[in-house]
Amino acid sequence: MRESTELLVSFFARVGISLKAQYHNWPTFLRRVSGRQSQMFRIGWVGDYPDAENFLQLFYGRNVSPGPNRCNYVNPRFDRLYEAACAAPDDAARNRLWAEAQELVREDCPWVFLHFQKVYSLCQSRVKNYVPSDFPYGTEKYLRTQTTDE
């Protein structure tokens, strides 16, 4: 973490922006971020379930600090899209709304997305209908094994 933070500080320095990195233990870090005492910080997020809502909740206005919207992003248009997507009656409607909400986040850029985890999969031949997923956690519960040739 320290090395990557120093790298980011050097990148900002190249364009004339001086940053002072501070390092804190986890409880202090969370207290400072939740209390809006940090102008810039690094934090990760791993989705708990494979749904756009799990990621886009991080930008919902009602979830500002001390909630999961730690960047305190507020955009009324995004919030309307988020609420409509959460209440949408079918996947097609939800996906359209999520795509539009995601585009707003991309345009407004409340975060700088640094990296995404690469996922590797190994699969026994007895596991049938396996489809690899880019979602790194929790998908195993959807797998079924077959003990005989059917």
- Number of domains observed in the structure of the chain: 1
Find the domain containing 7 and state its range.
1-43
pTM of the complete model: 0.75
How far apart are the C-alpha atoms of 148 and 150, rounded to whole Å? 6
In a domain, 23, yes or no: yes
Structure tokens at 80: 């309307």
In a domain, 30, yes or no: yes
Structure tokens at 10: 């050097």
In a domain, 58, yes or no: no
Mean pLDDT in the chain?
A: 87
In a domain, 143, yes or no: no
In this predicted structure, which of 17-21, 74-78, 116-120 has the lowest mean pLDDT?
116-120
Q: Please tell me the predicted confidence (pLDDT) of residue 121.
A: 76
Amino acid 34 reads S
In a domain, 85, yes or no: no
In a domain, 136, yes or no: no
150 pLDDT higher than 60? no
How far apart are the C-alpha atoms of 145 and 131, rounded to whole Å? 13
